[in-house]
Amino acid sequence: MENADLKLDGNAAAGELREIFGAEMTIVRATCGSCGAVREMGALSVYLHAPGTVFRCPGCDAVLVRIVRAEERLWLDPSGVSCLELRTGA
Amino acid sequence: MARAAVLGRLNWLLAELVELVPETPRVKSLVLAAPGWPGHRPGQHVDVRLTAEDGYQAQRSYSIATPPDGERVVLTVERLEDGEVSPFLVDELLVGDRIELRGPIGGYFVWDGADRAPLHLVAGGSGIVPLMAMLRHRAGLGSAGPAALVYSARTEGELIYREELDRLAADDGALRIAYTLTRERPPGWTGYDRRIDPGMLGEVLGGADPNATAFVCGPTRFVEVAADALVGLGYEPGRVRTERFGPSGR
Amino acid sequence: MDHVTRGFRGRRDTERSDRIPPGQYETRDFPVLSAGPTPHTPLETWTFTISEGGEERARWTWDEFQALPSETITKDIHCVTKWSKLDTAWEGVSVDTLLDGIETDAAYVMAWSDGGYTTNLPLEDVTDGKAWVAHGYDDEPLDPEHGGPARLLVPHLYFWKSAKWVRGLRLMEEDEPGFWESLGYHLYGDPWREQRYWGD
């Protein structure tokens, strides 16, 4: 199985993000702390087939967000993102 | 226009299989009735969760094949060679069985047709499923802008929804559909016969339209080739939305 | 319990054996798990280094590494994502060979890989025949998808400790969490005590 096949779009982790944040996160715009590129989270590269979920910048491959889930706990490291932009009005 | 942000946590719902529709030798559509279904937008998906008697669970995501229709949710599932979940859904599930699903999920890969901007679709294999929800929704709207689809499959028999797609195109002058078969063509085939490339996409979609939104769905490598081709043709990267299906076997 | 799906069993073998640690299921295939793109370091530039305090203590090029004594090892492996695979056959250089002649007071190592992955281990868990740098699997050179050209192999701990695409070991006096250990995964990771996460 080609490793290229393991890379998905952020959209594939949409359910997980919904569960954590209680809101649709794929349309939130994230700035890569490494290269400055801004993209909707649904457009980030996501690796789901790992001990955790890893979001990477499609441009520079930097790790943006990591999520690990245990039975009743969850760890989230958003430190690769330097800022998030959300829409608040209709 | 519907708010893009949908609030609230998702709960697992029990949906009942009311009909099984064979589409191709490896593909079936599961027509589900999901009491409490909150509605969805074309392009969204659900998570399906199966639980064995000893508590073992497996979960997978499947695109919804139909536009919003009350509590009716249709999933079109391809049986993957080494799959753990898809062979069960396609071969073992019986009408009357219930499965857990959660959704709708995804705000990024959706199309509501609220404006009349051109809709450009590129599908590889079972990547046609969420795009079919969009085309079915568009047909129901009656007054949408132009649309075009390039659909790549290995053989004619693997084209899902073939008759319905041909009918949609025949009934609507503003919808253009082109198929390309990459492995084997039937005698007399007049469609394309190669992997998608910028030339083919340019011919069918009519060149990069700054107002068009493009949706590409299929196996990861197919999506990368198609997305790169669209950007190469002049589509703005932000207007090319992709949904990679990941490995075609596990 | 959640709704049981009639007729669903899943891929695994439900025969419990005393070779399968608690909470695990046996698999016959070899799942590929990855947190990022597969690196493709050319063998001409590949090196393996042992360092301590920022100073290099030993280094091998690919050719030098291939010239080291190598052995065939057959072991059971256990991934924290719950699959276990029995009798996996590897070809590799014992970490004891790589550490031979290196005097150190360090009690821990950080294995680091191409692509940025890291994982920490006690030094005593990679010595005395417990760990290898593996370059072959099932009689073939190790596939990039499974960590080739070389990966760390530490079968007695959860498999996230067997760092793919490994390029070196950093000797450390104090323990420090690696990539997954800094985000909830257990610092040690003994599958027989089910040490998957912090506090387990």
Mean pLDDT, range C174-193, rounded to an integer: 96
Q: Which residues contact C150 (CB under 8 A, 6 or more apart)?
A: C46, C48, C65, C92, C133, C134, C135, C142, C165, C166
Closest residue to C5, CB basis, from B54, B84, B99: B99
Domain coordinates in residue numbering, chain B: 13-105, 119-244
Secondary structure tally for chain A: helices H, strands E: 1, 8
Q: Residue A2 corresponds to which tokens in the numbers above?
A: 């080609």
Per-residue pLDDT tens digits for B15-49:
999 999 999 999 999 999 999 999 999 999 999 99
Probe site for chain B from C2, C3, C8 (most B CB atoms < 10 A): C8
B54 in contact with C at a CB cutoff of 8 Å?
yes
Residue C83 β-bridge partners: C25
Q: Is residue A7 part of a domain?
A: yes
Report how far apart, in Å, the C-alpha atoms of C152 and of each of B97, C87, C181 are.
Answer: 46, 17, 17
Q: In chain C, pLDDT over 70 holds for what percent of residues?
A: 98
Confidence band of B55 (pLDDT split at 50, 70, 90)? confident
> pLDDT by residue (tens digit) across C61-78?
999 999 999 999 999 999
Averaged pLDDT of chain C: 94
Confidence at B4, pLDDT banded by 50, 70, 90: very low
CB contact under 8 A, C35 and A68: no
Give the whole-angstrom CA distance, residue B241 versus residue B209.
Answer: 15
* Low-confidence stretches of chain A (pLDDT beneath 70): 1-5, 90
User: How far are the Cα atoms of B30, B152, C199 from residue B132, in angstroms, in the given order?
Assistant: 15, 14, 47
Say which DSSP state B211 is in: T
Is C43 in CB contact (< 8 Å) with chain A? no
Mean residue pLDDT of chain B comes to 91
Residues from chain A that touch B5, judged by Cβ atoms under 8 A, are: 23-24, 27, 86-87
Is there a domain that residue A90 lies in?
no
Among C35, C160, C196, the residue with its CB nearest the CB of A70 is C196
In this structure, is residue C101 part of a structural domain?
A: yes
Dihedral sign (CA C86, C113, C54, C158): negative
Residues 6+ away with beta carbon under 8 Å from C64? none
pLDDT score, position A16: 86
Do residues B159 and B24 lie in contact, with contact meaning Cβ atoms separated by under 8 Å?
A: yes
Q: Which pLDDT value is given to residue B247? A: 58
Nearest CA in chain A to C196: A70
| Cα distance between residue B119 and residue B136, in whole Å | 13
Q: Does C23 touch chain A (CB under 8 A)?
A: no
Q: Is the pLDDT of residue C156 over 90?
A: yes
Beta bridge partners, A80, equal: none
For residue A72, being part of any structural domain is answered with yes
| B84 compared with C179, residue with greater pLDDT | C179
pLDDT, tens only, B190-211: 999 999 999 999 999 987 888 9
Does some domain include residue C39? Answer: no
What residue numbers bound the domain in which C97 lies? Answer: 46-193
| pLDDT tens by residue, B120-165 | 999 999 999 999 999 999 999 987 899 999 999 999 999 999 999 9
ipTM: 0.88
Query: What is the structure's pLDDT at C9?
Result: 85
Residue C122: the pLDDT is: 98
| Nearest C-alpha in C relative to A54 | C35
User: Is residue A42 in some structural domain?
Assistant: yes
The answer as to whether A31 is a domain residue is yes
Domain of A10 in residue numbering reads as 3-85
Q: Which two tokens stand for residue B152?
A: 């790549």
Q: Could you report the per-residue pLDDT of C35-67, keeping only the tens digit for each? A: 888 999 999 999 999 999 999 999 999 999 999
- CATH tag, B13-105: 2.40.30.10
> How many distinct structural domains can be found in chain C?
1
- For domain B119-244, the CATH class is alpha beta
CATH number for the domain harbouring residue C117 = 3.90.420.10
Do β-strands B119-124 and B147-153 pair in parallel, antiparallel, or remain unpaired? parallel
pTM of this structure: 0.80
Reply yes or no on whether the pLDDT at B8 is more than 70.
Answer: no
Single out the residue of B78, B97, B68 nearest to residue B23, CA to CA: B78
- Closest Cβ–Cβ partner in C8, C12, C25 for B50: C8
In a domain? residue A81: yes
Evaluate whether residue C199 is within a structural domain.
no
